[in-house]
Amino acid sequence: MVVRTVAILTFSLLLAFSAAPVHADSLVAPLRFLLGEWEALSPPSGERGGFTFSITVQDRVIVRTNYAEYPARDGRPASRHDDLMIVYVEGDRLNALYVDSEEHVIRYAVQPHGDREVVFVSESKASEPRYRLTYTASADGTLIGRFEIAAPGTDAFKSYLSWTARRR
């Protein structure tokens, strides 16, 4: 499953890059506020997490790596979640591909709102939930994240996770 996902990702990105316009770096520019290493603030007791946004491929791609560690609790063993998201230009728009250690794959349309907020919205499929991930830069330098889910066939997003992070 992972090898197939990586092969599909590689092929998809090759196609996207071959069609990328000269102004690709300007489409990525509004997301520069995300760049850097971030750590979660005030997570629940014993939990740890952080993420890094880095720019690559001649300023045309942003890569996010993320982790969350959960201690053993209520009869559950300790666990770790890892994920990777690649934000890339395709034609005249931004898209993202998310994959994680739990075998989730999410394709997002990326919608910057100025230079302090970005919203990632998943494709709409009748039989699957939709996802919305929002990052907002605060005046105090922290980054607020929100992950929401909508039931299949609806656009009624409900909060699933939220967090605040600061640069390391």
pLDDT in tens, 36-83: 999 999 777 889 999 999 999 999 999 999 999 999 989 999 999 999
Q: What is the pTM of this model?
A: 0.84
Asked if 8 and 29 count as a contact pair (C-beta separation under 8 A), the reply is: no
Using DSSP, state whether 24 is helix, strand or coil: helix
pLDDT of residue 108: 98
Amino acid code (one letter) for 48: R
pLDDT tens for residues 13-46?
444 444 444 466 789 999 999 999 999 997 778 8
131 burial level (CB within 10 Å; 0-12, 13-18, 19+):
buried
Asked if 31 and 112 count as a contact pair (C-beta separation under 8 A), the reply is: yes
Asked if 86 and 95 count as a contact pair (C-beta separation under 8 A), the reply is: no
**Mean pLDDT over the full length of the chain:** 88
Residue found by looking up tokens 């001649």 in the block: 58
Give the alpha-carbon dihedral of 165, 56, 111, 24, to 10 degrees.
160
1 burial level (CB within 10 Å; 0-12, 13-18, 19+):
exposed
pLDDT of residue 43: 75
Question: What residues contact 49, with CB distance under 8 A and at least 6 apart?
Answer: 39, 40, 43, 66, 67, 68, 69, 163
CATH topology of domain 2-167: Lipocalin (2.40.128)
Question: What residues contact 163, with CB distance under 8 A and at least 6 apart?
Answer: 40, 41, 43, 49, 144, 145
